[in-house]
A and B are shown apart, each in its own frame.
Chain A
Amino acid sequence: MSRVTKFAGRDPGPGARVAGFMAHLRAHGFALGVAETGTALAALGAVKASDPSEARAALRAVCAGRAEDVDRFDALFDSFWMDAGRVRQKTVPSDKTNKSDDMRSSRKDAGETEAEGTGKIHAPGGSGGGEVESDGTGRLVASDVKNLMKKDLRDLVDPEDIRKAEAVALRLGQALRDRRSRRRKAARRGWAVDFRRTIRKAVATGGVPLRLARRTRPDRPVKIVALCDVSGSMLVYARPFLAFLAGLMRADANSDAYLFHTRLVRIAEALREEDPMRALNRVTLMAEGIGGGSCIGGALEHFAATYARRFANGRSVVIILSDGYDSDPPEHIAAGLEALKRRGCRIVWLNPLKGWKGYEPIARGMAAALPYLDLFEAANTLEALASLDQKLGAI
């Protein structure tokens, strides 16, 4: 039996099927617009569309936009076009309510886990009691009941903190300007001559460049990437740090934030929620296990190998907020930081313990990290963070 999906007789034709396939991909997180549907049809016209392998390769070239898409594409293609000969009733979703029924195949596909994650996430009201607000979705309610023991971040941070932290983050962002750009822009007092404008002015003086126009390097904001340790030993300091992360996300659209304890979670998207308290709710839900053990090395290595490849570069300053007490062997911290250094990032480690009298970085993890740090400072309050702008500006 052919594996190719059969389509219902009333189906409007190939155009609609391709549109349906595009909707299927879109529902699974592919960034595709209307224009791509046209391109996809044109592409199928340029190959032998009846041959599944050619159609697959052609659609992959059109629809996938990055390496991860390529990896997921095959499963999604199979679930739409190669559905073991089952009849697909509708090709195009008519409205939002029945979309997921039509587009999801019962087969397990690789993209499933990330799909349909567009709805707002609501946390249960308050930290105790286990009472659930009626507008929570089924899946999240279930995860909440499981995590009643979890620390709710809203107990730690209030909106006032976040507002203050926003100001701090703005200040740090301004301190971290990058003047290394090779791009030039017109300026009144720059150090390079702007030939085009100079010649224009010289036309008026018969070709004698009397007034030199200038160009200079523009200031560029640096992207801040913050990694915050929320293991048990760090929980007492979580208040300013979480506020800082939330404020940072609000102050600078380019910044990026992660939490780690025994694993690493990217919280940048969640923290960008309009309502700061709801943002913390989302983070609480994502970062299950807050206040547990700590694997700094593992988290850093994971970060360097995955997110950093996409989000960190020579214009990034990676700020690590941690006390350096690590259950992983210290080599992991060193390896992770070295990989980050190779990407050209500057690394700042803020250790709340460093403010203590007589503190020595003798924790093995901390000692292993030291050679890779551009700045190693104490910071355990928002005020301390704010006072760092001078030092950060110098790195």
Chain B
Amino acid sequence: MTYLDLQKDLAEQGYVASDDLAMALHLAVTLGRPLLLEGAAGVGKTEVARALAAARDTRLIRLQCYEGLDAAQAIYEWNYQRQLLAIQASGKTGKEAEAQIFSEDYLLERPLLQAIRQDTPPVLLIDEIDRADEEFEAYLLEVLADFQITVPELGTITAKSRPLVVLTANGTRDLSDALRRRCLYAHVDYPDRKTELAILDARCPGLSAQLSGQIVGFVQDLRKEDLVKKPGVAEMLDFAAALAGLGVADLTEDPAALMAAMATLLKTEADRGAVPAEVAQRLAGRAA
């Protein structure tokens, strides 16, 4: 399999990947290495993992990172209520009771443990790793290198199959060199005009060629404006859906509808202010 095959498989899932991204994914699959994707919010980093899982017909296990994420939420947790009941019901104490309650039956799998215990290799998406604390990042290094997890009460659990790991980050904090070194890397940018048109066609096949050209041109121009939150690909698709829902066939024909649909693109007060109706009209006129 070459990276072009992978690119085609992803396209069938509605994900249009650039050559560089497809190559990085291809290497991640063949070499069994984690892949770190960086880029602005909304360029489709998370979607890559979803499309990859669909293309390889395997499970997607997602770990959403946040500040304070710890082992209990990321790796495993014990089912405390059942443990307490079990001790009381059995009437055992000491070693016996301990052996009973710290067993598989009472283990709750969280995404990381789940990912290494699948029979077929899943896609493990570690989303927004830069939101997690440095401690967690350091812990991940071990998991990503050896694909094994140690539960103190049970011992070391080694992966049945090596998951395909995709990490995403969008620069909330700088990641450590150690993590970067363990991963392959691809920088995902906003798609170029041609790619974005292909994405729009794949996702909203009903649109006329003229309107989809206008939508993509409009959104691409809008990204060049000085905005706090630049609209991503998902926003572009929402925008297209909104326009279709409002029955707009041409961006320039109905300024009121255009402004209404802009609610899908501009998500802050400041950005709404930065693109008043006249500016939107001008952009639409240029895109037409």
Contact B185 A199 (CB under 8 A): no
Contact A202 B68 (CB under 8 A): no
Q: Say yes or no: A60-B228 contact (C-beta < 8 A), given A33-B181, A54-B3, A310-B174.
A: no
A54 interface neighbour in B23, B31, B68, B184, Cβ under 8 Å: B23
Residue contacts A-B, CB under 8 angstroms, 11 given: A42-B31, A47-B3, A47-B27, A65-B185, A181-B68, A182-B68, A183-B135, A200-B98, A202-B87, A203-B97, A207-B86
Contact B31 A39 (CB under 8 A): yes
B24 in contact (CB, < 8 A): yes
The 0/1 profile, CB within 8 Å of B marked 1, for residues 57-69 of chain A is 1101110111101
Contact B20 A60 (CB under 8 A): yes
B133 in contact (CB, < 8 A): yes
CA distance A183 to B132 in the complex (A): 10
Contact B101 A47 (CB under 8 A): no
> Which B73-102 residues sit within 8 Å CB-CB of chain A?
78, 80, 83-88, 91, 93-94, 97-98, 101
Q: Say yes or no: A31-B181 contact (C-beta < 8 A), given A46-B30, A199-B78.
A: yes
Measured CB to CB, the closest approach of chain A to B2, in angstroms, equals: 7
> Which A56-108 residues sit within 8 Å CB-CB of chain B?
57-58, 60-62, 64-67, 69-70
CA distance A90 to B228 in the complex (A): 50
CA distance A183 to B134 in the complex (A): 11
> Which B13-36 residues sit within 8 Å CB-CB of chain A?
19-20, 23-24, 26-28, 30-31, 33, 35-36
Q: In the assembled complex, which residues on chain A have CB atoms less than 8 Å from the CB atom of B171? A: 309-310
Q: Say yes or no: A342-B84 contact (C-beta < 8 A), given A65-B181, A183-B133.
A: no
Residue of B nearest to A200 (CB): B98
CA distance A328 to B171 in the complex (A): 29
A62 interface neighbour in B27, B67, B70, B78, Cβ under 8 Å: B27
Q: In the assembled complex, which residues on chain A have CB atoms less than 8 Å from the CB atom of B24? A: 57, 61
A10 in contact (CB, < 8 A): no
Measured CB to CB, the closest approach of chain B to A151, in angstroms, equals: 32
CA distance A60 to B66 in the complex (A): 29
Contact B93 A64 (CB under 8 A): no
Q: In the assembled complex, which residues on chain B have CB atoms less than 8 Å from the CB atom of A391? A: none
Contact B19 A206 (CB under 8 A): no
B172 in contact (CB, < 8 A): yes
CA distance A62 to B66 in the complex (A): 27
Residue of A nearest to B179 (CB): A65
Q: In the assembled complex, which residues on chain B have CB atoms less than 8 Å from the CB atom of A39? A: 31, 33
CA distance A203 to B35 in the complex (A): 43
Q: In the assembled complex, which residues on chain B have CB atoms less than 8 Å from the CB atom of A53? A: 19
Residue of A nearest to B91 (CB): A206
B187 in contact (CB, < 8 A): yes
* Among all A-B residue pairs, the 8 with the closest Cβ atoms: A182-B68, A207-B87, A207-B88, A65-B180, A57-B23, A61-B24, A46-B30, A310-B174
CA distance A64 to B36 in the complex (A): 11
Q: In the assembled complex, which residues on chain A have CB atoms less than 8 Å from the CB atom of B133? A: 181, 183
A43 in contact (CB, < 8 A): yes
Residue of A nearest to B96 (CB): A203
Residue of A nearest to B177 (CB): A31
Most A CB contacts (10 A, CB to CB) among B23, B24, B180 go to: B23
A36 in contact (CB, < 8 A): yes
Q: Say yes or no: A199-B27 contact (C-beta < 8 A), given A64-B185, A65-B177, A66-B38.
A: no
B186 in contact (CB, < 8 A): yes
Contact A182 B67 (CB under 8 A): yes
Q: In the assembled complex, which residues on chain B have CB atoms less than 8 Å from the CB atom of A57? A: 3, 19-20, 23-24
Q: In the assembled complex, which residues on chain B have CB atoms less than 8 Å from the CB atom of A310? A: 171, 174
Measured CB to CB, the closest approach of chain B to A265, in angstroms, equals: 19
Q: Say yes or no: A203-B93 contact (C-beta < 8 A), given A57-B23, A183-B135, A208-B88.
A: yes
Q: State the interface size on chain B (CB cutoff 8 A).
A: 48
Contact B101 A203 (CB under 8 A): yes
User: A residues touching B (Cβ–Cβ < 8 Å)?
Assistant: 31-33, 35-36, 39, 42-43, 46-48, 53-54, 57-58, 60-62, 64-67, 69-70, 181-184, 195-196, 198-200, 202-209, 309-311, 313-314, 342
Contact A199 B84 (CB under 8 A): yes
Contact A203 B38 (CB under 8 A): no
CA distance A61 to B22 in the complex (A): 10
Contact A62 B181 (CB under 8 A): no
CA distance A65 to B38 in the complex (A): 10
Measured CB to CB, the closest approach of chain B to A22, in angstroms, equals: 12
Measured CB to CB, the closest approach of chain A to B68, in angstroms, equals: 3
Contact B87 A203 (CB under 8 A): yes
Contact B78 A206 (CB under 8 A): no
B27 interface neighbour in A61, A64, A181, Cβ under 8 Å: A61
Residue of B nearest to A310 (CB): B174
Q: In the assembled complex, which residues on chain B have CB atoms less than 8 Å from the CB atom of A31? A: 177, 180-181
Q: Say yes or no: A206-B185 contact (C-beta < 8 A), given A46-B26, A310-B174.
A: no
Q: In the assembled complex, which residues on chain A have CB atoms less than 8 Å from the CB atom of B28? A: 61
B160 in contact (CB, < 8 A): no
B286 in contact (CB, < 8 A): no
Residue of A nearest to B33 (CB): A39
Contact B70 A199 (CB under 8 A): no
> Which B42-80 residues sit within 8 Å CB-CB of chain A?
66-68, 70, 78, 80
Measured CB to CB, the closest approach of chain B to A308, in angstroms, equals: 10
Residue of B nearest to A48 (CB): B2
B173 in contact (CB, < 8 A): yes
Measured CB to CB, the closest approach of chain A to B94, in angstroms, equals: 7
B78 interface neighbour in A36, A181, A195, Cβ under 8 Å: A195
Residue of A nearest to B29 (CB): A46
Contact A67 B187 (CB under 8 A): yes
Contact A183 B94 (CB under 8 A): no
Q: In the assembled complex, which residues on chain B have CB atoms less than 8 Å from the CB atom of A43? A: 27, 31
Measured CB to CB, the closest approach of chain A to B207, in angstroms, equals: 32
